[in-house]
Structure 1
């Protein structure tokens, strides 16, 4: 089954690549090699850098709170199947939440 998925995904990616290449080529959206330029500015400090610096402590604090409050235990519990219901013990609850 894993080999089938691998071959299927590889074929889908290859076909999608050819479709994009032929589509962009037929529309003239692929630049010629002499016109293609590579930016040489390297790493710059811009607004996204500062936003990343601001958001990083927030993300760390949220992760710390998640681990301190037992989030990992909750995640472990959500993966299993539900416990079987007990049948035959007493009566089913009525509409108001108590049994007779």
Structure 2
């Protein structure tokens, strides 16, 4: 279920193109770069359906929330590919 959130712009009017966000469920999975060759770089794969994705993101402190294990699901307020706010961890893809 997609939830659309429409926010008010600074003028207080309802503007569809300014400050708009979605609430989405995303899947985060840890992985390691070349673990058999001694590579220890940890990165995070973020997808929407829990399927393998091509978008890799190096773990920068504060960029992703901490989670136990190798994967987790999160409810996210999504503004753009580069701007998102993690709201809470959830049990699954909901």
Could you state the TM-score of these two structures normalised by the residue count of structure 2?
0.19
- Write 1 or 2 for the structure with the bigger share of strand: 2
- Write 1 or 2 for the structure with the bigger share of helix: 1
Structure with greater contact order relative to length (CA < 8 Å, sep ≥ 6): 2
Higher Rg: 1
